[in-house]
Amino acid sequence: MTLLELDTRQKAFRNAMASMAAAVSVVTTNGTAGRSGITATAVCSITDTPPTIMVCINRNSKTNATLKENQYLCVNILSAEQLEIAQHFAGMTEVKMSDRFMLHNWKEGTQQIPVLDGALANLQGKISSMSEMGTHTLFFVELNEIEIRENGNSLIYFNRAFHEISRS
């Protein structure tokens, strides 16, 4: 396969994935490697026995290395009202990582992980295994704390932009 063919396939893949709506989350961690977070859309359920999710994070992200060392994380599933938080943790603003946790209501969860108050759901757990695939690390996380908010609209990412989806 030529580089041009590979580039064409990568563009086609990215365009196809832009057609797939995804919930927006901020994945947070804290521990010996420090406190960090990143906006993510590549989060999915694996099984409910035991409750396990998969989170995919680019290996070039500083948060990737922090997650690997800390071993604990929280997936904060964002409500539509939390668009600004998604933008901060996606690096779309000039706000430094340390300041991102001062701008909104965060509480301390298991293992002192930042847990976002007002998120649609907060899923805390320990990384049970990892797998490297291309440019990303797949983190498999066994959940030990699950909080759910019963109201609020969802923030999704579709066609390379954020959108609100109504609960009703």
Residue 130 in domain = yes
Q: What is the 3-state secondary structure (H, E, C) of 31-71?
A: CCCCCEEEEECCEEEEEECCEEEEEEEECCCHHHHHHHHHC
Residue 6 in domain = no
Instruction: Give the global pTM.
Output: 0.94
Domain that holds residue 112: 24-161
Tens of pLDDT along 109-159? 999 999 999 999 999 999 999 999 999 999 999 999 999 999 999 999 999
Residue 29 in domain = yes
> Is 152 in contact with 120 (CB distance < 8 Å)?
yes
Domain count along the chain:
1
Instruction: State the CATH number of the domain containing residue 72.
Output: 2.30.110.10
Q: What value does the mean pLDDT of the chain take?
A: 95
User: According to the model, what pLDDT value does residue 7 have?
Assistant: 82
> How far is residue 115 from each of residues 16, 98, 112, 125, 163, measured CA to CA in Å?
32, 15, 9, 12, 23
Strand pairing partners for 141?
53, 127
